[in-house]
Structure formats: structure tokens, C-alpha cells
Structure 1
């Protein structure tokens, strides 16, 4: 299963998530979802700033959970919301 998620620039705090009787303690929801869904392909959409801030931490967390390394796809920052969503989906689909 392919998991596609956004990575932001905010502060990530560790939480314990639960789904279908399985728990996962992590600060990245992408890691929790990948665990719950047994993702074998993880695509992360991130601006350059988000990539610089959190991509390495997310990659380490996925490795700790014995999950595949993420494919980081850069999306532009700024602009109108509709344009950003369109570019994000184009980026995700081109990596499919």
C-alpha cells in the first residue's frame, strides 16, 4: 500500500495513536499511519523548508519502526491554496 502524506514546518510532539487495537508512539502521523496500514511505499510531500526541518527526523523514525524509507517530493511554498493542492497532487501522481 502506498501512503501519501504532507510534512509541515510546525513542531512535532510525540503522541500515542491507536487504530484497530494497534498502538504506535511517535511524533509523526505518517509513521503511525504507515504502521497501521502496513505501507510498503511512503511518499511525503514537503516544501523545501519542511524538508530541511523534519525529513531527516521522519526518516529516522520510519527506520526505527522498521518501515520503508520515504520518498520526499518537494512541493512549492506560498501561492494560492488551490494552486498548492493542484501542484501537490501532480507531484504525488508523477511519483506513482
Structure 2
């Protein structure tokens, strides 16, 4: 298995950057949905559409946060790999030639 901690950290950085882009797309059509609901006070359809879009905002935030969680896990795995790799190298050096 070929593990490259540098590439793993780059992936984590990219994931965080993209999570920001995803999160930047919400609130979804907030001004339009608020105006539609205000313009049609008694409309259950508009009320449901607004509630649905608010729920979608929650979903977008959730997925952006999950992207950040995965990025953190990738960085943690890269650090753990480097730590273990360094420990293995030290162990081999201490053992010396046979």
C-alpha cells in the first residue's frame, strides 16, 4: 500500500475548501422564498415550499460539516501514519545490522 501523507493533507485542504463552497450556496433562494411567502400569506403551497427549502438548507449545512469531518479524519490518519512510520524507522535503526 502506498500512502502519501502530503497528498492526504492536500485532499483534506481541498475538502475543507469545497465544503465552504457547498455551504456558501445556502440559504437557498432565501429572498425569493421569503418574498413568495409574504406575498401569499394564506398559501399553504408557498408555506410548504419555504419549509422544504429551509430543510434543504439544513441538509446542505450537514453535508458541508460532514466534508469537514472527513477532512479532519484524513489529516488524523496522515499524522498517525507518519508517527507509526517514524517509529518503525527508529526501531529498524536501533536494531542495527544483523
TM normalised by structure 2 equals: 0.23
Larger Rg: 2
More helix by share: 2
More strand by share: 1
TM normalised by structure 1 equals: 0.23
